[in-house]
Amino acid sequence: MRQLTALGLTLLAAMAAGTARSAEPLTTGTLIEEMVDLARLADYPEPAFHTVQYSSYDRRSSVPGGPDWFANADGFGGEPIPGFEKVLAEPNAQGVGEYLICDVKGPGAIVRTWTAGIAGTIRVWLDGADKPLFDGPAHEFLHGPYRRAAEAAGIDLALFDGTFRQRDACYFPIPFAKRCRIVWTGKIQDMHFYEVQVRHYAPGTAVTTYSPEDLKTHESAIARVGGILADPSGRWPYRSKLEPVSFETTLQPGEAKDVVTLDGPKAIERLTLQVQAGDVDRALRQTVLRVVCDGHPWGQVQSPIGDFFGAAPGINPFDSVPFTVQPDGQMTCRYVMPFAQSCSIRLENRGPRPVTVQGSVLPCEYVWNDARSMHFRARWRVDHGLRAGGGDEAQDLPFLVARGQGVYVGTTVMMMNPSPAPSPYGSWWGEGDEKVFIDDDARPSTFGTGSEDYFNYSWSVPDIFGYPYCGQPRDDGPANRGFVVNQRWHILDALPFAERIGFYMELLSHLPTPGFSYARIGYHYGRPGIIDDHVNPTDRDLEPVELPANWMPIAALGSHDSTFHQAEDALTTKDGTTLEKGRVWAGARMLVWKPTRKGEELTFKLPVAQAGRYAIRITAAHRPGGGRFSAMLDGKPVEFDGAGRVVDLATDFRTLSRTVSLRPAELTQGDHELTLRAEDDPATGHTIGLDFFWVQP
């Protein structure tokens, strides 16, 4: 079982000596307060802890770099080796067995749970109690361990949605003083994806064990923290009493400037920047931000501005605990950045045109502690021209490899995925798992079940979403094609390391995909003396990436046996339509229809080679000013799967390529007419962008 190694226990015990036993006990309430305390992350944790993830990862992946290192049977059911710490009871005549998720001895806390889908039941015992704390459906515990206690306490469950429960993950702390044992009972052939993250505290750490009554006891803390998590940019409790330092500067090509210089000891509690340029997307990638604390060469932060704020390429609005990006391009970082003697904010224009940057820094008082204080670090890296794939093409990409003492606090990835497959089962890039080696790990103490699982979602969905600790603010589409941004912030589930860390993510895609671009940042804090594998970005690294021109969809995996028709080619009359160029669209062009009246119709001819049952799919532009339409097939009104009779193409801020499907129907051999009907008043000025149709048996 994955318990702490002897070295890990020794390190925790040494760091805890003289502090843990005299400290106030950790409680459910104190852990809830930590969820919105970013300043706490800047000091090495006291009492010390080690975060371990128990998951359904493929147990054949036992030797780093070995033959099964990229094995991917991790919760679908029927794995060659059960994805648990131990088999407690072999399956009975009905196929039901008992399996150990974890058995943690010593003080600790559950800080995150996740599932993409799980059958069976879970039982949870704390401190060796005879009666389990929880005994019920496994998905209920992993998605909402607070639910039953909240209902009993009369607390509105809506307070937890989108705050403590974030997409497919839950961040509700469950501390324990002596032991936590979790057992899954079910059929090993059934789906059983799970992740449970646990803080292992140093021996002797004072912890008050969770009880269901804690929800009532800490109701005010739950409400306060939940309110902040629901609206970080509007409700963040900044502590500083100092005045912000504002600036505005214009950088010529090749020019670098220190725009803010501060004397220490202090910390930056908030950094806000906004870029203005003729080509903002290019400027966000080619203007480099450096935060240089205490005279360290190159700076602890070194990243293109847009990538640092998790918004690249371009402006992709979102609101999370450490970062906010507004629709007007104003970007804010709330990670606290301490320094002992000095700090400068340095900007460098490595692009071909002038760039104007305005912003502000909110300093705060901070007492530098030579034993525990850390610098905030965020060093960007990118690999262009990768070949994503499976099998022997899978690879581990390093996010952070460092030696020293620190805490890992967040991840953002910014990818260009040129896959021509138009469905998630085909264009998906993230079958790979996160693998995090801490200190003397022989195998990762954090071993995941898929890239999207790490980012708190599942099933390779292209949805645009944002939560306090995670988000997907960009996914061009169709499906997972194009530019994609994923984020996860480790706040309650921070990953301390006493000696070293190696954070890797597998790049493992459904289909071989050459030309893949993968930029990423591993945000972390480090004690002075930490060293890492950072390499200064080259001008080639900073060149903006473009989608391939003239791509066309392919019939593979989720789009197998499909026949594709460009909308402009299938159109029976071109009245009221134009063509719009763009690399997001198949063939680098899209048909744009601007109806002159509500009820106006546009008809397309779709041939069917052989009689049978088919789904007709429409890949269209979802964007600001997008219109609404209904459809008829061969003169009969039809419904769309999951969308009723009317499709709405309007979105806020973003342009997305998305596919809607007519409900399957029996079609004869020969030509069929698909007629779209405008459902908007033309005074709105809304347009309907149509890329291509596919007919799939």
What CATH number should be reported for the domain holding residue 586? 2.60.120.260
Q: Is residue 11 domain-shared with residue 135, that is, in the same domain?
A: yes
**468 close to 320: Cβ distance less than 8 angstroms:** yes
User: What is residue 13's three-state secondary structure?
Assistant: helix
- Say if 358 falls within a structural domain: yes
For residues 386 and 482, membership in a common domain is answered with yes
DSSP tag of 545: P
Asked if pLDDT for residue 105 goes beyond 90, the answer is yes
Closest to 120 measured CA to CA, from 56, 41, 69: 56
What is the average per-residue pLDDT within 515-531? 98
What separation in angstroms does the CA of 697 have from each of 397, 527, 571, 644?
A: 38, 59, 22, 21
- For the chain, the domain total comes to 4
Report the 10 Å Cβ neighbour count for 391.
8
Same domain, 624 and 641: yes
pLDDT of residue 7: 46
Mean pLDDT, rounded, of the chain: 95
What pLDDT is recorded for position 107? 98
Residues 407, 366, single domain; the answer is: no
On whether both 76 and 174 belong to a single domain, the answer is: yes
State the SS3 of 353-392.
CCEEEEEEEEEEECCCCCCCECEEEEECEEEEEEEECCHH
Q: Are residues 167 and 256 in the same domain?
A: no
* pLDDT tier, 2 (very low <50, low <70, confident <90, very high otherwise): low
Q: Clarify whether residues 368 and 385 are in a common domain.
A: no
CA distance 652 to 336: 31
Of 280, 350, 287, nearest in space to 315 by CA: 280
Whether residue 203 is found in the same domain as residue 279: no
**CA-based end-to-end distance of the chain:** 47
**Which tokens hold the place of 187?**
């059929």
Q: If DSSP codes are grouped into helix, strand and coil, which group holds residue 281?
A: helix
pTM (predicted TM-score): 0.96
What mean pLDDT is predicted for residues 10-36? Answer: 72
Distance between CA atoms of 68 and 210, rounded to whole angstroms? Answer: 39
Q: How confident is the model at residue 3 (pLDDT cuts 50, 70, 90)?
A: low
pLDDT of residue 9: 52
Q: Which of 230, 256, 290 is the last residue of a domain?
A: 230
For residues 684 and 32, what is the distance between their CA atoms, to the nearest angstrom?
A: 47
- Whether 18 shows a pLDDT value over 50: the answer reads no
Which pLDDT value is given to residue 387? Answer: 97
| Residue 607, phi then psi, degrees to nearest 5 | -80, 145
Tell me the C-alpha distance between 356 and 347, whole Å. Answer: 10
The pLDDT of 372-393, averaged and rounded, is 96
Least Cα distance to 8 among 202, 204, 207, 206 occurs for 202
Do 52 and 143 lie in one domain? The reply is: yes
Q: Please tell me what DSSP assigns to residue 433.
A: P
Classify residue 508: in a domain, yes or no: yes
- Residue 5 confidence class, pLDDT cut points 50, 70, 90: low
Domain that holds residue 443: 380-534
pLDDT for 273 equals 98
User: CA–CA separation, 465 vs 134, rounded Å?
Assistant: 30
Residue 355, in any domain of the structure: yes
Q: Mean pLDDT over residues 536-562, rounded? A: 96
Residue carrying the six token digits 């459809």 = 631
Query: Residue 355 belongs to a domain with what CATH number?
Result: 2.60.120.1390
Judge if 153 and 221 occupy the same domain. Answer: yes
35, 40, 37: which is closest to 222 by C-alpha? Answer: 35
- Closest listed residue to residue 114, CA positions, set 170, 56, 182: 170
pLDDT at 19 over 70: no
The tens digit of pLDDT for each residue in 394-449 reads 999 999 999 999 999 999 999 999 999 999 999 999 999 999 999 999 999 999 99
Task: Specify the pLDDT at position 380.
Answer: 98
Q: Above 50 in pLDDT, residue 21?
A: no
pLDDT of residue 74: 96
Write the pLDDT tens digit of every residue in 278-289: 999 999 999 999
Q: Is the predicted pLDDT of residue 468 greater than 60, yes or no?
A: yes
CB 475 within 8 A of CB 656: yes
**Helices and strands counted in the chain (H then E):** 13, 47
Structure tokens at 429: 């890039």
**Average pLDDT score over residue span 81-107:** 98
pLDDT at 247: 98
CA 628 to chain centroid: 30
The owner of tokens 């950088």 is 251
Question: What confidence tens digit (pLDDT) does each residue in 550-598 have?
Answer: 999 999 999 999 999 999 999 998 888 999 999 999 999 999 999 999 9
- pLDDT for 208 equals 98
53: helix, strand or coil: strand
Q: Please report whether residue 600 resides in a domain.
A: yes
Q: Is residue 448, in this structure, part of any structural domain at all?
A: yes
- For residue 39, the cross-strand partners are none
If asked whether residues 324 and 298 sit together in one domain, one would say: yes
Distance (Å, whole) CA 594 – CA 574 = 11
162 pLDDT band, cuts 50/70/90, is very high
Judge whether 545 lies within some domain: no
Q: How far is CA 206 from CA 34, 48, 108, 112, 269, in A?
A: 16, 12, 10, 21, 30
